[in-house]
Structure 1
Amino acid sequence: MTEVSNNQAAANKSLAPEEITSKDVTKAYLRWHFANEIPHSFERYLAPSLLYAMMPILKKLYKDDDSLRAAYKRQLLFFNTQLSWGGGVITGLMSSMEQQRAQEEYENKEILMQDDLMYNTKAGLMGALAGIGDAIDSGTVQYIFIAIAVPWAQQGSALGALFPFVFFAIYQAALGVFFARQSFTMGRNATGLMQSTGVQTAIEALSVLGLFMMGILAGNYVKVESTLKFAISGRKFVIQEILDQIVPGILPLAVVMGVYWFYTKKGLKVTQALLWLTLILIVLAGIGIL
C-alpha cells in the first residue's frame, strides 16, 4: 500500500508544472523576435511564430500530452501584431496566463483562465499595441537613427548605412525583452484581475481601438474605384464621383465588409476568400464597372 502511494505521489509530482523564470520569458521573446515573419501564413498570420516562441514554456508547464496539445492549439489561433510592443507584452502575458492555467489543471481547481479569456485578451491587445508600436518605432524611432547617421552617409562612411540598421535592431530586441519581462511579472502578480469588470472593459476598449486602426488601414490600402461613365441627355455621369459625394471610400468599405461576411459564413478560409475576391474583381473589371 505504501509503495502504491509513493508511486502515485511520484507520478503526480512528475506532472507538476515547472516554475517559469524571467530567463524563460526572455528566451520566449527572442524566439518570437527572430522567427517573427518566417512561418507567416494568410490564415494564421504570425500565430506560428508565437507558438514557436511559447513552446519551451508550454513544455515546462504541461506534462500531459493532451493538455500540451490543447495549449499548442490555443497559441496557434489567428494572431498579428507589431514586433516589440505587441510581441513583447503579449509573449509575457501569455506566459503568465498559461502558468496559471497549468496550475489550475494540476490542482484540479475550477478553471478560471478559460480559453476564451486568454484569446480575447490577446486579440484585444494585439491591434492596439500594433498601432502604438508602428507609430512609435516605425514612424519615429527608426527615423531618429537615420537622421543621426545622415552626416556619416554624406561623407561616404559605411557607418551611415550600418548605424540605423544595427541600432534599431538592438533597440527593438531590448524593448521587446523589457516588455515581455514586465508583462510577465505584472501578469503573474495580478492574473486574478483579468476576470474583473474594469479589465474586461479596458480590453473591450482596446478591441474597439484596434477596429478603428483596421478601418484606417483598409481605407488607405484597399484601392477599388469604378471606371463606369455614361451620359443622359448630353450630361455626363461619372459613377466614382457620385459615390465619393455620397460616402467617400464606399467601394473599399464594401470589399472589406464582403470579405468579413464571407468569413462569418465560411470561416477563416483566407485562400478561398482571395480566390473569390480575385474572380469577382476580374469579372467586374472585364464588364467595365471597375
Structure 2
Amino acid sequence: MGVAHSIYTQSFPPKTKFKVEDIPDLTGKVVIVTGANTGVGKETAKALLAHNATVYVAARSKEKADQAIQDLKKQTGKEGIFLKLDLGDLKSIKAAAEEFLSKEKELHILFNNAGVMMPPLEQTTAQGYDLQFGTNVLGHFYLTQLLLPALLAAAKTSPDGTARVVNTSAAAVYFTSKVDFNTLKDTRVRRKKGVSNLYAQSKLGNILVANELTRRYGDQGIVASSVNPGNLRSDLQRHLPRAVQKIMYSFLHPLPMGALTQLYAGTTSQGAELGGKFLIPWARVGKVPKGADDPKLAGELWKWMEEQVANV
C-alpha cells in the first residue's frame, strides 16, 4: 500500500500552491539547465529567463538549442546561452565544463534535468555504459563534480549562503531500492534486467547522488535536492510503443507543470532548506523512497563514479 499510495498521490497531486510568478528576481544569478532545448528543461529555462537569470541552455544539438533559444527570446525577451553538452559522452561533459568555467566564475543553480527513458536496450553511452544510467546519473555526476568550484564560489557570495543543485528523478524510483553495479555497463546481466528496471535504477541514482552531495558539501553551502517532476506529456516517452503513449497521455499532466517543483527547489528562499530532500508534485517535500536514504549505498555509488571519471 505504501508504494501504491505514493505513486497515486504523486500522479494525482493536489492543486499547486507555488506558481512561476512566485519566483523571486534572479538578476545576477547564473544557471545551467541540462536538456533545456525541450520539455521540462525548456519550461524551466523560460521561467528563469523571465525572472532575469543568466541561463545556459545545455544540449547536444546546437541546431535544436538555437531554435529553443529563439523561441524563449520571443516568449521572454531574454536570450539564453548555448552550452554544447552530450551527457552520454564523458569527454563532451569535460569540454562543456571547461567552456562554462572559461566564461563564468560562479554558478548559482545547476538543474540536472536532462534524461533518457527506456531507449532500445542496445544503446549505450560513448564509453559503453548503460545509456540510462550513464546519461541520467554518471553524466550529471561528472558535470556537477567539474562545476563544483563555481558552485562553491557562488555559495560564498550568495545572500543566503547557498548554491543549488537539483537532480531530476521520477516516480519510477519506487520500483527499485538498490543499484546493481553489474548492470551499469553492457553485460549479460544488464540485458536481462530490461529497460524499465534500468530506468528505475537510474532514477534511484539521481536521489542517491543528491543526498551524498549534501552530506559532503552541505556545510559549504551546496544545497542538493532531488525531485519527481510529475507524470507529464513530453517527448521523454518517445521510445515507448505508440499505443502505450496514447494510453499514458490520457492521464498525464501539461508539460509546464513539470517545471514547478524543480523551480521551487532551485530558486526560492524555502529551497535553501531542502538539502537532501526529495520533492514531489507540486513543490512539496515527500518521503524519500526506500533505498534512496541509504548512505552506505550512496557512498559506494559515489566511489564507483569517481573511479569511472578519474582518467577522462
TM-score by length of 1: 0.27
Q: Which has the larger radius of gyration?
A: 1
Higher helix share: 1
Higher strand share: 2
TM-score by length of 2: 0.25
